[in-house]
Amino acid sequence: MTDDFASMMKKMMEQGQDMARAFTPSFGGIDPKAFEKLFPAMPKDMLEMFFGKTFNPEGLDARTRFLVTIAALTVLGPVGEPQIRLTVQNALATGATKREIAEVIWQMSMFGGVPAMQKALEIAQAVFAETEETRP
């Protein structure tokens, strides 16, 4: 990536975040980590019960539901940051791989735009790093 392109992308990200704050004034005060304290990652069996096969036994499993949710939240852009963090954590807990999560986010660039995709990838990478730190 050239310096000019990196500078342009940085400015686009800043403008997108400024726009999100203008449309959603509370955005500036959201602490993604505080949101996680309200809803920590659930055990896999609970995730499957609530988000998997309980309501539709022949339907999507919890892993797939979380991947679909990550896609939708990515398109929302920075407004969905706390929810993306939590959903990535839960997707990992249900067996989704880091690569699958990244691919879902990349796929959404054509629908939500590159800045939204980039922000979601940054959030996912932070969760991946935190997950690695907490493992024995």
**CATH number of 109's domain:** 1.20.1290.10
- Is 127 inside a domain boundary? yes
Predicted pLDDT at 100: 97
- Is 120 inside a domain boundary? yes
The pTM score is: 0.62
pLDDT in tens, 79-108: 888 889 999 999 999 899 999 999 999 999
- Is 46 inside a domain boundary? no
Predicted pLDDT at 106: 94
Predicted pLDDT at 11: 72
- Is 81 inside a domain boundary? yes
Amino acid letter, residue 72: A
Number of structural domains the chain divides into: 1
Q: Are 90 and 41 in contact (CB under 8 A)?
A: yes
Predicted pLDDT at 53: 58
Q: Which domain holds residue 77?
A: 61-136
- Is 104 inside a domain boundary? yes
DSSP assignment, residue 30? -
Low pLDDT (below 50) residues in the chain: 35
SS3 129: helix
- Is 118 inside a domain boundary? yes
Q: What is the rounded CA–CA span in Å between residue 85 and residue 14? A: 20
